[in-house]
Structure 1
């Protein structure tokens, strides 16, 4: 039997289309990262790849994926990946391409034609599990095949990176930030830019600027859903979100406790002034289920229903109680380990409540207000 002939350069390039950049989520060929392809006698293939930055944290992942894809081609006896770094001109071209031909940063979600659904997850006070709800919603939506991003807008009390298990910092391409991806969710947080254990001591203008950079300088790509984990209350960030993302909707998180419900109601009422829509209420820590099936209502009952009813009366439209999430040890453990409950124990009552919430938000009909319909008037 004769020796198998070596593959052509064209055949190798055709297969490299299947290698995705782990951060940008597009083929490395489309991003012009493949500098060269050489096929040496005997079937050794040498692929030159230019990274966006020299310190790209995922270069090992790209090397592995190129090796696996090219190594599977008939006639290839070995693969060598030669890493390089993009020139300043290449990075400029990449930034412009990713921004759709626009050189300067802008907030893509604020454009009239944007189809990204935006949920600002808020609460009246801290400690009600707002970040846990956000992290699990993001993971559940991504597991259902949606393209999801999360902005950890709780500048002082950021916790989303840990809850979603983010393992490496963002990559910067000059003035563009490529967000890390965890559980197929793109994530950005001020916690990725601060030293461990150091607090963020900023006032209003700095908070506004940080949020603006998260929305405009970060390359989010084409998202189906963007979740914002807001700080508790109705301060600067909540107002800035309404200004920058007027099409965002508010999801209010509370506990059954009357005191927490009263404060949560105020967080939702802000929609009356900002002209945002309150999509619904989530009651967290609703009860603790016992081994015999009985429920212990540690924080009382009725808080979520009360918030929904009061908000509906104040805003003039129905605000539903979308979910009641029971207390579970695994929910806390998932937040500490970086593997959300909906991924580690999807059959538990709390996970089922969060999955149902995710699907109800994902499948809501989208309004057409402010969106281009792609039609033009025709003269009679």
Structure 2
């Protein structure tokens, strides 16, 4: 935070002797930063040779080309001792016009959104295997290459560019890698249909359950590989006849032939996810905000959500009516209502959610303040229907909103 002033920053690396290190520099906000030089020294503070001011005596600095030279520009801008009129149009072309153009471009840019991300290292290197996990006992050098258990030993794929992460990602997602596309397609199918074509969505290897309908899994994998749009594949699945089947087949012989329903002669019964339950409650009460996009809504913190790292802001009980996908997820402070209905802990990827049926779920529906608030709104909405159309119409409307069908005798 020192605009247009050079600063000397020093870091003590005594504790990091023998370790690899890199210097990473970020500007703050809409500002900018310039780095003059970076050096290592065992003798404490070393300010270096500084700027060569002799370039100011060079009478040939009368053109935009010479003024644009990095060394000359550094000296001229840092000194503040030169009369710009001496250089006339050359000064304007090299400094003034450029500064004005940069300022204009900067003002046209939106405010940046900060996220945590990884940057590719320009120069990668191989690292040794730590003996028994101890970083102070380096073993043999391990090359950057593909994974042996995924075919890397057969292909002898070696990574040479940067860290190798980009090459690894391209190798995994290659069109001729069936494991990746089958795994992705199987997870999408399981997400919609209630069970994967291969039951073990997190393991399509030797320890997993093989798919009974291999042709279906291959068809989905090829479909996703040719068009890597998950939304398009999900649309195809929900519009298919398989998705629209009932959970009971009219022919009893089908159950005898396909007892496990591995051939999908009927639909699997599916539990609503935690997000679907919450969104359905908001939809019934009329509070659901269907707007797409926007910032996350802070999680509502109860008295039981305490501990280190507790968020500073407390969100509304109903999450401002936004869909559950827009509720901010803090790993150690998850929404209490969602966790009661098997909301996954965001510590790792979850291919197949756990399903439970515990008393805490019924208690949440009876006692949670969120449910009470939405029930009140729903009741007020039903009373308005009763006042205008009668009690019978109100009962039929609320029944249809809750169950998706009219009440029967």
Q: Which has the higher helix share?
A: 2
Question: TM-score of the superposition, structure 1-length normalised?
Answer: 0.23
Question: TM-score of the superposition, structure 2-length normalised?
Answer: 0.22
Query: Max radius of gyration: which structure?
Result: 2
Higher RCO (Cα < 8 Å, 6 or more apart): 1
Q: Which has the higher strand share?
A: 1
